[in-house]
Amino acid sequence: MKLDIELFNTFLQVAATQSISRAAAALHLTQSAVSKRILGLEQALQVRLFDRIGHKLLLTEAGSILVPKSRKIIDEINDSRVLLRNLEQQVAGPLTLGTSHHIGLHRLPPVLRHYTQRYPRVTLDIRFLDSEQGCIGVETGELEMAIVTLPLEVPAALHTQVTWQDTLVFVVGKDHALARHDRVELDRLSAHKAILPGPGTYTRTILERALQPLAVRLQSTMSTNYLETIKMLVSVGLGWSILPLSMCDQELHQLQVPGLKLARQLGIVTHTSRTLSNAAQALIKLLSA
């Protein structure tokens, strides 16, 4: 069997999942097709790549050496394809991008509507995930680009471009005890239960860094990475939170907290070493407009 990119893709999926069945499901192949590809790769290279231990397939020493080599081979082939496709100056082909649920719901619809109408030959693969995972996806090469909340410290391998400034405001539900006030001191706010974005998220980190020099401890009873869920929990009176100003409506009451003005940056994340497809460049140009 001759070596091709699908063999290496299959090998990496089996290595990641340690299972023929899970790899087959991820690749939308039959288990026999995956087994045949692994066997073909082993025969072509004349080495054993996996040992079956219990219900798991574990990499042999040769398999472990092949993993980074396979990623490099796939990246080189994909990069060559992009370069050649770009020579044609056509905006077409696949574009795999990640975006957060919030941006996908509140920022992207008009942009994507215009983009798909203008470039119907682009096949979009949009993956909804946390902003942090979007950045990881770009860094590992799984995503060509991400449109997410931008990290406060940008890894050296990533390039970021600000598209939107997102003002964050303190909010409570209309029936909350603090809803009688428009302005509330931080010590009074912190005495009430908070519903915050999950620990480690960029939005949570913005709040924690603002509070750090003030030595304030919050009563965070619940946390979730989905801002729409936070909005619902706040609106029914379960606590206060911070949310983008664009999400505030008649269900919420905004609070001014003296000395605290929070904001985050939303935008584009790409890899510094990756050649962007015409499809990606066209979307970036549209977002930059």
What confidence tens digit (pLDDT) does each residue in 214-231 have? 888 888 778 888 999 999
How wide is the angle at C-alpha 254 spanned by C-alphas 251 and 260, nearest 5°? 150
How much is the pLDDT for 61? 93
Alpha-carbon distance 185 to 200, whole Å? 26
Is there a single domain that holds both residue 122 and residue 133?
yes
How much is the pLDDT for 85? 74
Kindly state the percentage of the chain with pLDDT values over 70: 98
Is there a single domain that holds both residue 45 and residue 82?
yes
Q: How many CB atoms lie within 10 A of CB 181?
A: 15
Is there a single domain that holds both residue 134 and residue 222?
no
Is there a single domain that holds both residue 154 and residue 271?
yes
Q: Average pLDDT, stretch 68-77?
A: 88
Domain residues for the domain of 273 are: 91-163+266-288
Whether residue 88 is predicted with pLDDT greater than 80 in this model: the reply is no
Structure-block tokens of residue 33: 């097709």
Which backbone phi and psi does 136 adopt, to 5 degrees?
-65, -40
What confidence tens digit (pLDDT) does each residue in 237-259 have? 999 999 999 999 999 999 999 98
Is there a single domain that holds both residue 169 and residue 221?
yes
Is there a single domain that holds both residue 177 and residue 224?
yes
Q: Alpha-carbon Rg of the chain, whole angstroms?
A: 24
How much is the pLDDT for 74? 87
Kindly state the percentage of the chain with pLDDT values over 90: 73
Average pLDDT in the chain: 91
Q: Average pLDDT, stretch 44-53?
A: 91
What is the pTM for the complete model shown?
A: 0.71
Amino acid at 130: D
Q: Which of 79-93, 144-158, 187-201, 231-245 has the lowest mean pLDDT?
A: 79-93
Alpha-carbon distance 262 to 140, whole Å? 30
Higher pLDDT, 13 or 221: 13
How much is the pLDDT for 2? 54
pLDDT confidence of 48, banded at 50, 70, 90? very high
How much is the pLDDT for 3? 61
CATH number at residue 257: 3.40.190.290
How much is the pLDDT for 188? 92
Is there a single domain that holds both residue 146 and residue 278?
yes
**End-to-end CA gap in the chain:** 49
Structure-block tokens of residue 242: 């911070």
Q: Average pLDDT, stretch 69-78?
A: 87
Alpha-carbon distance 172 to 86, whole Å? 50
What confidence tens digit (pLDDT) does each residue in 109-165 have? 999 999 999 999 999 999 999 999 999 999 999 999 999 999 999 999 999 999 999
Is there a single domain that holds both residue 199 and residue 255?
yes
